[in-house]
Amino acid sequence: MNRRQPQIKLQAFLANLPMFSEMNGADLDRIAAHTLPHYAEKGQSICQCGDPCTGFHLVVYGQVKLGFTSAQGIEKVVEIVRPGQSFGEALMFLDAPYIVFAQALSDSMLLHVAKQAVFDELARDPGFSRRMLSGLSRRLHGLVRDVEAYTLRSSQERVIGYLLAELRDDADASPVEVHLSAGKSVIASRLNMTPEHFSRILHELGNAGLIEIHGRTVRIPDLERLRGYRV
């Protein structure tokens, strides 16, 4: 109805992201002018390995998985991207094509922010550069943690780590429930194991009384006990 409505919402959404926080109206207008919404249905591909990079992507709602496909067609999920998170920034600065694919895990809305808008803003606003550097650093840090987990931790430790990380801001009063936000096969791949093995580990932890599994909901009766569990 009102043509300006989407435009206004767009800027309000951007303003709430760490990357664009502290920007004034004019700055946001410039970014918004180079931003395009993109709706993807569950299962739909957002970008493919090899595609050129023309900007970066923000998830507004829904869920997106990033991953690679091996020569034999095996798929490995590197990251599950949630609302408010973004991907593809690094590629903008490298002029390199995507090395991962992105696919919607559920019906999702994304925003595509054109490279040029970002570059212009970087040249104009040192604060924006700093936030961009922070964002990339956080990503890098997370990836190093992932490498540590893949190379130095057992599957069981990775599963426990995942469950504990999913709590985030939730209460730490001990009887907690974690809701698995994606299918178990996707989570298994993200943790670098087969769905079968993931299932077995979940049940082992269940038998040990550390968790209770009800479909996609995992109840943790005693957080500290799960934190300290070995073998």
Partner DNA sequence: GCGCGGCTTTGATCTAGGTTAAATGTAGCC
Partner DNA sequence: GGCTACATTTAACCTAGATCAAAGCCGCGC
Count of residues interacting with DNA (CB under 7 A)? 22
Q: Which is nearer to its own copies, 96 or 208 (CB)?
A: 96
Amino acid at 88: G
Asked whether position 161 contacts DNA by CB under 7 A, the answer is no
Choose which of 132, 163, 178, 218 interacts with its own copies (CB under 8 A): 132
Asked whether position 44 contacts DNA by CB under 7 A, the answer is no
Asked whether position 139 contacts its own copies by CB under 8 A, the answer is yes
Q: Decide: residue 166, CB within 10 A, 0-12 exposed, 13-18 middle, 19+ buried.
A: middle
CB of 64 to its own copies, least distance (A): 16
Choose which of 8, 12, 36, 147 interacts with its own copies (CB under 8 A): 147
Angle between helices 25-33 and 4-15 (to 10 degrees): 110
Give residue for tokens 């593809």.
88
Amino acid at 118: V
The 165-194 contact track toward DNA, x by CB under 7 A, reads ------------------xxxx-----xxx
Asked whether position 149 contacts DNA by CB under 7 A, the answer is no
How many other C-beta atoms lie within 10 A of the C-beta of residue 98? 18
Residue 82 interacts with, from its own copies, DNA, none (CB under 5-8 Å by kind): none
CB of 182 to DNA, least distance (A): 8
Give residue for tokens 């990503």.
139
Q: Which is nearer to its own copies, 145 or 219 (CB)?
A: 145
Residue 215 gets the label, from left (phi > 0), alpha (psi -120 to 50) or beta, of left
CA distances in angstroms from 156 to 101, 115, 176, listed in the order given: 27, 41, 19
Choose which of 83, 84, 161, 195 interacts with DNA (CB under 7 A): 195
